[in-house]
Amino acid sequence: MKMLKGIITLFTLLLIQQPLLAQDWISVGPRVGLNYTNQAGDNIEPDYAFGLVAGITSTFSLRERSGLTVELLYAEEGAESLEEVELDLSYLRLPILYNIFFRDVGDAFRPKIYIGLQPGLLLEAEIDEADRTDSYNSFALGGTVGIGFNYQVGEELWLNTDLRYNRGFTDIAEDTAFFEGDIYNQGFQLSLGLAFGL
């Protein structure tokens, strides 16, 4: 909980101290990639599992070397236990990320690092293809850190690559047949996107 409060405080301070550029600069486009996830918690060591992530990404430039990214993503997350029991979770995620770029607006190649929050609504939960949605919490909040770059491939068109680590802050299930105790989502995400300047 202290980690969550610290990240929220840092994120808020970063946003407050950044006035918008005089010229609003926005890019929007699709993003698709892979999740490589499992769960962390009390006395559990599940194997990682692959899942799809896809949706819409948008970036709002603030100062020359900073920006705010807001995304709407369908994310498949889950794990596999030592007994080969498969947990499949599907979320609607809304990552809100603060970016720091290492080159200026207008440069063709812009490396970046970022940090943010990732709230999510549970769409479906399955254990070995049997529906267990009612056993899991409908809301999950997590944090995100990542690296990537934006590369201009055309006029007002950018290719975005991202590698991020996501870690849940909230227990995904009070009581589940899959694991006992507090359980948190975690995992890595690799994705590509196209961003169209508006």
Residue 149's pLDDT is 96
Helix or strand (DSSP H, E) at 50:
strand 49-61
Residue 4's pLDDT is 55
Residue pLDDT, tens place only, 175-187: 655 556 788 999 9
Beta-strand relationship, 49-61 and 26-41: antiparallel
Give residue 22's pLDDT band: very low, low, confident or very high (50, 70, 90). Answer: very low
CATH classification of the domain holding 28: 2.40.160.20
Give residue 148's pLDDT band: very low, low, confident or very high (50, 70, 90). Answer: very high
Calpha distance 140→72 (Å, rounded)? 15
Calpha distance 173→95 (Å, rounded)? 21
Number of domains in the chain: 1
Residue pLDDT, tens place only, 27-44: 999 999 999 999 887 777
Residue pLDDT, tens place only, 64-115: 889 999 999 999 999 987 667 888 999 999 999 999 999 887 789 999 999 9
Residue pLDDT, tens place only, 131-146: 989 889 999 999 999 9
Comparing 46 with 99, the larger pLDDT belongs to 99
Residues 6+ apart with CB under 8 A from 5: none
**Quick check: helix, strand or coil at residue 124?**
strand
pTM of this prediction? Answer: 0.84
Q: Which structural domain range is residue 41 located in?
A: 2-197
Residue 175's pLDDT is 61
Can you give the three-state secondary structure of 69-85, one letter per residue? EEEEEEEEEEEECCCCC
**C-beta atoms surrounding 20 within 10 Å:** 12
Residue 24's pLDDT is 44
Q: Exposed (0-12), middle (13-18) or buried (19+): which is 193, by Cβ within 10 Å?
A: buried
77 near 51, Cβ under 8 Å?
yes
Calpha distance 93→155 (Å, rounded)? 30
